[in-house]
Structure 1
Amino acid sequence: MPSSTKNSDPTTLHNPYFYQKPGQKDIWSLINETAAQAEQESGKSIVNLGQGFFSYNPPDFAIDAVNQALTKPQFNQYAHARGNPNLLKQVADHYSRSYGREVTPDQIQITTGANEGMFSIFFGFLTSGDEAIVFEPFFDQYIPNIEMTGAKVKYVEIKYPKKFDTGVVEGKDWEIDWEGLENSINEKTKIIVINTPHNPIGKVFTEEELERIGELAIKHNLILVSDEVYENLYYTPQFPRPANLKSLPELAERTLTVGSAGKSFAATGWRIGYIQGPVNLIKFVTAAHTRICFSTPAPLQQAVAIGFEQADKLNYFENTVKDYKKKYEIFTAVFDELGLPYTKADGGYFLLVNLSKVKISKDYKFPQAISDRGTLDFKLAYWLIKEIGVVGIPPTEFLIPENRLGND
C-alpha cells in the first residue's frame, strides 16, 4: 500500500529530503554509513552497486591530459564563464557528429557538473509560480533544484509494467502516462524534463515517445530539458535524441541537452558538465551559471577537451559500451539463475531488480533509522548489506512519498 507519509508545511513542497523526520539521514548517508559499518564489523569488503561513481580510474589518456594541463599557467587560473574555448569546440564537434548537423561553440555552455548545469537551466528560466514537469520515477536531484527557484514540480508517471511482478521486462514496457502528461500542462508550465537513458529504469526513450513529448512542447511553447548524461553508454541500435529528431526538426529550437564528462570518462569527481542548445536559450543558462559558480575548474576543462579528442581516435566510447555489455551479461545471469525479475537496461549502468520474492524473517532486527523509513525496499537494502555484502539503493527514493511502497 502507498505510504501515508505527508507533511502539511507548505514550505516543504514535494522535495523528498523534506519528508525526513528531524534528525533523519538522507538516503546516501544512511546507506553508505550502513555499508561502512557492516564492512568494519565483518572484516569483509562490501560491494557497492548502489551509487553512480566508479571504482576504477579514468582512462590513461585522460589522466595524462590532467597532468599536462596542470603544468600550463593559463589552465591554473579562472576559466572563462562560458567555458574553455578548446572544450567548447570539442563538445560542439561531439554533438555535430552525433546529430549529423553543425553545432557551433556558441551553442554550448560548460558547467560544474551536469547537476549544476540543470540547476543553471532551472534558475535561468523558472521563477516563483512557474511549473516544471518531471517524469516519475525521477533522479532525486531534479526536485530541490526546481523548487529552490520557487517553481512547483508536476509529476507524470512512467507506468510500472504489471508483468514486472513475475518476469523480465524491457524499457519499452515502462510506458508514459500520456493522459497524465497532457493534463499536467497549463498556463504555468514552462519546462518538461526527461532523462534518457533513464536513471533508475535504464529506459531509452523511443523516437515515437520523444516525438509525442516534443509535439506537446511545441504546441504549448515549452522548453524541453533532456538529461542525457549516459549518452555514451547505450545498448540499443540507435540513441534517439529530442534535439535531433528528423521528423520534428523544430524541436531542436526549444531543447536543452545535458551532458556529463564525469559519466563519459569515469571521472565524476572532476565535475565537468555541458549544456547544448540554441543560442537564444543558452545565454540564459550562461547568466545563471555565472552567478552560481562563475567558472568551472580550468585544468579539468582542458583535460576533458583533450579527452574528447583522444576518445574519438581510440574508439573509447565504443569499447566502453562493449565492456559494459559483457558486465551486464555476467550481472543479469545471477538474477536469471535466482529467478528474480529485472528491467533489461537500454543504457546507463544501473539495473532495476524486483526483489519481492526475497523474504526476510519477521523477527529480523532492523535499526530504528531503517524502520522509520516505513518501506520494504529500505529493509531489503539493509538486509542485502548486512547478510550478502552488497549495496543497492531503495528505488522508492525515486518516487514521491504518497507513491512509495509501504510495509503492508
Structure 2
Amino acid sequence: MELAQRVQSLTPSSTLAITAKAKALKAEGHDVIGLGAGEPDFNTPNHIIEAAKRSMDEGLTKYTPSGGIPALKSAIIDKMQKDQNLTYNQDQVIVTTGAKHALFTLFQVLLNKKDEVIVPAPYWVSYPEQIKLAEGNPIVVQTKEEQQFKLTPEQLEQSITERTKAVIINSPSNPTGMMYSKEELQAIGEICLKHDILIVSDEIYEKLIYTEEKHISIAQLSDSLFNQTIIINGVSKSHSMTGWRIGYALGQAKIIKAMTNLASHSTSNPTSISQYGALAAYNGSDQDIEEMRSAFSDRLEKLYSWIVDIPGIHCEKPKGAFYLFPNVKQAAALCGYDQVDDWVTALLDEEKVALVPGSGFGSPENVRLSYATSLDQLEEAANRIKHFIEKHKG
C-alpha cells in the first residue's frame, strides 16, 4: 500500500540521524562524544518532580481540558506579565504537548494549500517539514554569517508575495544562538503589519542568554504587534523538562480556539501529570534556571575559544541557546572533502565525535555543536576535531 504523499515528502531529521549513529557506535563499545543533543544535560529540578508525584498521589491522572488546565494557563499568563509585561486572557492561551506540537497545530489551523511561510535559514529542522505537512510552502530565505544569521527587513520585503501568510522569528535561535535586537524586531514588525503577515515568534530559549542583553518579544513592541504575533514557548529548555512535553502558544483568541479544537481531536489534552509539573515550574524559584544558565555560559566561553583555535573553522559567537554553529567548509576542504556532510561522517567514524551537519538546518557549510554536556567532554571533543584536521590536511 502506498503511503500518503504528505509523509513521503518529509526529510528525515538530521539531528536524530546523527544521534542514532552515535548511539549505535556507543553500543559497540566505542568512546563516542555526542555533541548533537538538543536538550539540557541537567535533570528536572526536584520541586517539579515532587509536584508531579503529588499529582499522581492525589488522583490528578484523568483527562484535562484540551487546551490545558486553567491553573497552568494562569501561571503562564502571570509569567508573561512578569517577564514581558504582556497581558493575556485564558482564551488566548493553549497548553500543548511540547512547543513542537504548538507549532504543528498552529500551521494546521493557519495554512491552506500553497500558502507561504517565510523561514529564515539557518532554521530549526522541523519548521519547513511542519509547513509542508499543512500543505503550505516554506519560503526559505538564506541569511549570512556577517549579518549574524538574522533576517533583514530588506530580505523579508523581497520575499513577500500575495500568498505569504506568516514569518517565523526564532530568538534566541536554534541552531545559531543569535538574538534579534529591539530595533531589528521593530523593523521586521512594521513590514509584517504593512502586509498583514502573522508573526510566529519561537521563544523557547528565552531563559538561556549569556550577554547583558535581555530577551525581547516582538509582541512587546506595540499593541498592533501584540495582536499580530503568536508566541511559542514551553518549559523544555528553561526547566530541563524536554521529556515532559509541555509547550504553549499565546495570541489571538480566534487562532487559539481553532488550535484547541484541533488538539481535542488529536492529543485530547497534554499529559495531566506533566501539566502539574509545569505548574510547579512556573510557581517555583528561578534558582535552578540561573544555575543552569550560568553553567552553560561558562561552557560557551571555553568551547568557543577552543573551536575558533582550530584550523579552517570560524564561528560567530552566539548569545543564547546552547549551540555553536561554526562554518567548517575550509576545514572540510583541508581534509579533502567537498561536502561538509561527508566530513562530519568521517569525523564520527575516525574520531568518534558526533556533530550535526548544518545541511539539516539549511546551511550546508556549517555544523551544530551542542554544549549541553560536561566541560571535560567538550575539551576532549575539540581536541579530537583538531587532531582529525591536522592528521588529514597533509
Instruction: Tell me the TM-score range normalised by the shorter chain.
Output: 0.7 to 0.9
Instruction: Name the structure 1 match of 2:88.
Output: 103
Summarize the alignment of residues 8-407 of structure 1 with structure 2, pairs less than 5 Å apart.
17=11, 26-41=13-28, 43-73=29-59, 75-161=60-146, 173-236=148-211, 237-245=213-221, 248-312=222-286, 315-338=287-310, 340-358=313-331, 362=336, 376-399=339-362, 404=364
Aligned-pair distance for 1:92? 0.8
Distance 1:213 1:102 in 2: 22
Structure with greater contact order relative to length (CA < 8 Å, sep ≥ 6): 1
Aligned residues: 359
Aligned-pair distance for 1:361? 5.1
Change (3 A) 1:37 1:295: closer
Aligned-pair distance for 1:395? 0.4
Change (3 A) 1:180 1:357: closer
The worse-fitting range, judged by mean Cα deviation, of 284-293 and 213-222 is 284-293
Distance 1:319 1:300 in 2: 22
Distance 1:223 1:176 in 2: 16
Change (3 A) 1:38 1:59: same
| Preserved contact between residue 96 and residue 246 of structure 2 (Cα < 8 Å) | yes
Letter in 1 for 2:118: I
Letter in 2 for 1:176: L
Aligned-pair distance for 1:189? 1.4
Q: Structure 1 runs of 4+ off > 4 angstroms?
A: 11-16, 359-362, 403-406
Secondary structure in structure 1 of the residue aligned to 2:208: coil
| Preserved contact between residue 166 and residue 199 of structure 2 (Cα < 8 Å) | yes
Q: Which runs of 5+ in 1 are unaligned?
A: 1-10, 18-24, 162-171, 365-374
Change (3 A) 1:26 1:232: closer
Instruction: Name the structure 2 match of 1:164.
Output: none
| Preserved contact between residue 65 and residue 303 of structure 1 (Cα < 8 Å) | yes
Change (3 A) 1:84 1:213: same
| Preserved contact between residue 256 and residue 276 of structure 1 (Cα < 8 Å) | yes
Q: Which runs of 5+ in 2 are unaligned?
A: 367-394
Aligned-pair distance for 1:16? 6.0
Secondary structure in structure 1 of the residue aligned to 2:329: coil
Distance 1:13 1:219 in 2: 35
Normalising by structure 1, we get a TM-score of 0.81
Letter in 2 for 1:132: V
Distance 1:204 1:234 in 2: 9
Distance 1:13 1:180 in 2: 30
Letter in 2 for 1:160: E
Secondary structure in structure 2 of the residue aligned to 1:259: strand
Distance 2:335 2:178 in 1: 33
Distance 1:398 1:336 in 2: 21
Aligned-pair distance for 1:321? 1.9
Aligned-pair distance for 1:282? 1.9
| Preserved contact between residue 14 and residue 153 of structure 1 (Cα < 8 Å) | no
Aligned-pair distance for 1:104? 3.1
Secondary structure in structure 1 of the residue aligned to 2:114: coil
Aligned-pair distance for 1:119? 0.9
Aligned-pair distance for 1:174? 3.0
